[in-house]
Amino acid sequence: MLDIKQIRENPQLVQERLSGRGDKYNIQPILDFDRQQRELEVTRSQLQARSNEIADSIPKKIKTGSDPKGAEILALRTEGKSIKATLSELEPQEKELKVKIQELLLTLPNLPSDSTPIGKNEQENVEIRRWGDEYLPQNPNIIDHWEIGEKLGILNVERAVKVAQSRFVTLIGAGALLERALIQFMLDKQTQAGYVEVSPPILVNTESLTATGQLPKFAEESFKCADDDLWLIPTAEVPLTNFYRGEILRQEDLPIYYCAYTPCFRREAGSYGRDMRGLIRLHQFNKIELVKFVHPSTSFEELEKLVGNAEAILQALQLPYRVLELCTGDLGFSSAKTYDLEVWLPSSGKYREISSCSNCVDFQARRGDIRFKESGKKGTQFVHTLNGSGLAVGRTMAAILENYQQPDGTVRIPEALQRYFGREVL
């Protein structure tokens, strides 16, 4: 959530930054409600002060000889009653304005960082680097990952549709083992990098989704339980970030690094074409998520480290990839700066997203009221939160099935994964 003080003091800058995101965001209603609320607050404070003054003066005047039933005391009491009546009207008005401001603030995305490239859409993202050209497959007859998966008997879509609906898959035998091997491999790599593994709830409440920015804007893309205030998580970022919602940490506690394996659930509305098949866009998928709580002064440095942690998985698996810096028009709702990692999928001749690493600065912490206190200093500050995939498991499997595909129809297992999988070839 944006700071209302920042909007109030720098409205033009905030509006310009929001306009760079591409959608039409208008902060004027917030400014209008904020002005009305502050005017009411001033009026209410003045009236409350006068009411207190009257309450104090009446007994003093009576004590010094004023007639308790005289005109002077009667006038003061009449004025006091009038002020209380006015206050009883102003207080709900002010409360209503505060609610309106809060509701509007929750609809605004984060402001892009100063270093985020300006652009309209994904076509204007900036490629930072590529890695692994020497590992690009030489097999000219690579088929789609879902096709080789079905031929190997490790992936079945029809049975998943039977028990659920489209956009689900079933992994069988070596397919299930390969996914489990990848999960363990990724968790081992990230815990070795300093992350603490967590197994969080995969059902969360509305307040949790609101704190991380999925609600209210993305309600239609989420799965909600009909009879409870519980939602299936779109990513482990949600429960991990909300661990400290409403809490004050100590500066000595920072930085905090968490990683988690969870299933993730998304409606993936609007996707089409090749994405409707295979492991790229599913309603249910598995992912290793990385989340950081850090001091504001180090958050952009921590973002670079986070990207490196995600890259380490692809490098260990020797999967070619590239790193993109997202432009303002392609940033996620809660992010101030984002890098995407895209892995090479030879069947389509394209790089496809496999990890998105973001610095949300104080945006989520402000929504979730996550603060820290520095020793010897008064007051508290909001922490900065970061998150990223380390990695999306299904997409990693898809990349292996394609990049390691052999002319004879087998699939080699990356060397780093062989001790987890137990054999060298599918």
pLDDT, one tens digit per residue, over 358-375 is 999 999 999 999 999 998
Measured CA to CA, the distance from residue 298 to residue 301 in angstroms comes to 5
| pLDDT, the chain, mean | 95
- In DSSP notation, 36-99 reads HHHHHHHHHHHHHHHHHHHHHHHHHHHHTT--TTSHHHHHHHHHHHHHHHHHHHHHHHHHHHHH
Pairing verdict, β 284-294 and 337-345: unpaired
Torsion-angle region of 373 (φ positive above 0: left; ψ -120 to 50: alpha; else: beta): beta
Percentage, residues of the chain above pLDDT 90:
92
**What's the rounded Cα separation, in Å, for the pair 40 and 396?**
56
Give yes or no for residue 270 having a pLDDT over 80.
Answer: no
337 has pLDDT over 90: yes
Cβ count near 41 (within 10 Å): 14
pLDDT for position 22: 87
pLDDT digits (tens, 9 = 90+) for 115-153: 999 999 999 999 999 999 999 999 989 999 999 999 999
How many CB atoms lie under 10 A from the CB of residue 85?
A: 10
Q: Which residue has the tokens 């005047």?
A: 61
**pLDDT digit string, tens, across residues 164-184:** 999 999 999 999 999 999 999
- The pLDDT value recorded for residue 274 is 55
Annotation: binding site? 235-237, 266-268, 289, 353-356, 387, 389
- State the pLDDT at residue 278: 87
Q: pLDDT at position 306, please?
A: 98
Confidence of residue 23 (pLDDT cuts 50, 70, 90): confident
Q: Could you list the active site residues?
A: 266, 281, 353, 356, 395
- Domains recognised in the chain with CATH numbers: 4-105 (1.10.287.40), 122-421 (3.30.930.10)
3-state secondary structure (DSSP) of residue 316 = helix
Enumerate the known binding-site residues for ATP.
Answer: 266-268, 353-356
Threshold 0.85, pTM exceeds = yes
Binding residues for L-serine, as ranges, are 235-237, 266, 289, 387, 389
Residue 332 · residue 359 · CB < 8 Å: no
